[in-house]
């Protein structure tokens, strides 16, 4: 594990910003912290980075308490840094490299990574929002950290800038960096993250692989034909080990979840063999949006 948060809590006076958060970030993952404004994402990152002190709980980076050595392995972008408007992209990075004591030989590499090499001598003030944010990411890459911590990296960007930054995050992940990213945008988490923790009012609602948390199975909605009662349909469904979560639906229908090895046609056939003729069979895709709302409602 790159980062382990164990039973972390944080109070600001009377406000409980985070309650008993336990979260493990595996190496190589793109770990999203997803939640509405005020849900505790920034507080979580602040505690993880040692900027804030927890009221309770512990933080471990690379299996150990946070230290100067572990901090050097983590690049952080909490808010867009202030660059000098009249200096070029390269000159601005030179300033950051000096502060971080990173060798200037890394400048070419990070400019290349963020796609600003051919604009490196242009003044920062002429850059688009997306380019400014890519330069900010370049500055976090100086020192070659293994882990990047990004708080709302696409906030305030136009659609073009958002796309640029997301593509860059995906590329950095593909290169093997572990990325921890806070966002209130479900769409962003879905597009770039492998793992997600859903926070709401300082509490963890769900955590795990994005495909498990945000893409739970579609449901199949069944309506028995006139010759088959709802009771008979339910009894037939109970015979099938590969269906789960039978739920009553409006208008005398039921819905079920199939395992990954079976499709709706297999369900129709299995029911027919048990003497059930369906009058309706409909696949209902559950949108990510509705799952997120279900998790945080």
Q: Are 195 and 1 in contact (CB under 8 A)?
A: no
Give the Cβ contact number of residue 202 at 10 Å: 22
DSSP assignment string, 260-273:
TT--HHHHHHHHHH
- Within 8 A by CB and 6+ apart from 144, the residues are 102, 106
Provide the minimum distance between the beta carbon of 10 and ligand ATP in the complex, in angstroms, as a whole number: 8
Interacting residues with ligand ATP (CB under 6 A): 12, 15, 17, 35, 37-43, 184
Provide the minimum distance between the beta carbon of 15 and ligand ATP in the complex, in angstroms, as a whole number: 5
**CA dihedral of 99, 101, 107, 109, whole degrees rounded to 10:** -130
The two structure tokens encoding residue 31: 């770990």
Provide the minimum distance between the beta carbon of 38 and ligand ATP in the complex, in angstroms, as a whole number: 4
Q: Which is nearer to ligand ATP, 12 or 86 (CB)?
A: 12
Separation of first and last alpha carbons in the chain? 30
**Residue carrying structure tokens 């136009």:** 158
Q: Which is nearer to ligand ATP, 166 or 184 (CB)?
A: 184
Provide the minimum distance between the beta carbon of 36 and ligand ATP in the complex, in angstroms, as a whole number: 7
Task: Please give the Cα distance from 205 to 260 (Å, whole number).
Answer: 25
Provide the minimum distance between the beta carbon of 66 and ligand ATP in the complex, in angstroms, as a whole number: 18
Provide the minimum distance between the beta carbon of 199 and ligand ATP in the complex, in angstroms, as a whole number: 7
Provide the minimum distance between the beta carbon of 213 and ligand ATP in the complex, in angstroms, as a whole number: 18
Q: Please, is 40 exposed, middle or buried when counting C-beta atoms within 10 Å of its C-beta (0-12, 13-18, 19+)? A: buried
Task: Please give the Cα distance from 19 to 146 (Å, whole number).
Answer: 28
How many degrees, rounded to 5, is the angle at CA 130 between CA 25 and CA 113?
Answer: 60
Task: Please give the Cα distance from 231 to 236 (Å, whole number).
Answer: 9
Q: Which is nearer to ligand ATP, 155 or 215 (CB)?
A: 155
Q: Which is nearer to ligand ATP, 42 or 139 (CB)?
A: 42
The two structure tokens encoding residue 100: 């971080």
């Amino acid at each position: 594990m790159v980062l382990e948060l164990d039973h972390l809590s944080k109070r600001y006076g009377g406000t409980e910003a985070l309650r008993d958060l336990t979260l493990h970030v595996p190496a190589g993952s793109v770990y999203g912290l997803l939640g509405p404004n005020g849900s505790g994402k920034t507080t979580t990152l602040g505690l993880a980075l040692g900027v804030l002190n927890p009221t309770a709980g512990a933080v471990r980076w690379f299996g150990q308490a946070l230290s100067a050595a572990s901090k050097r392995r983590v690049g952080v972008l909490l808010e867009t840094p202030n660059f000098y408007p009249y200096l070029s992209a390269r000159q601005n990075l030179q300033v950051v490299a000096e502060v971080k004591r990173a060798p200037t030989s890394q400048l070419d590499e990070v400019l290349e990574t963020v796609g600003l090499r051919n604009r490196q001598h242009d003044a920062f003030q002429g850059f688009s929002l997306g380019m400014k944010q890519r330069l900010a990411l370049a500055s976090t890459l100086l020192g070659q950290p293994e882990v990047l911590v990004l708080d709302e990296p696409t906030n305030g960007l136009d659609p073009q800038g958002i796309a640029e930054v997301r593509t860059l995050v995906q590329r950095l992940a593909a290169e093997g960096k572990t990325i921890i990213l806070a966002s209130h945008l479900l769409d962003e988490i879905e597009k770039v993250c492998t793992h997600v923790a859903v926070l709401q009012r300082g509490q963890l609602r769900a955590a795990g692989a994005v495909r498990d948390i945000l893409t739970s199975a579609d449901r199949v909605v069944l309506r028995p034909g006139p010759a088959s009662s709802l009771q008979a349909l339910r009894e037939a469904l109970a015979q099938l080990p590969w269906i789960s979560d039978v739920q009553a639906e409006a208008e005398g229908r039921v819905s079920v979840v199939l395992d990954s090895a079976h499709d709706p046609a297999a369900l129709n056939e299995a029911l027919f063999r048990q003497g059930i003729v369906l009058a309706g069979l409909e696949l209902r895709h559950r949108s990510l949006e509705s799952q997120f709302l279900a998790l945080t409602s």
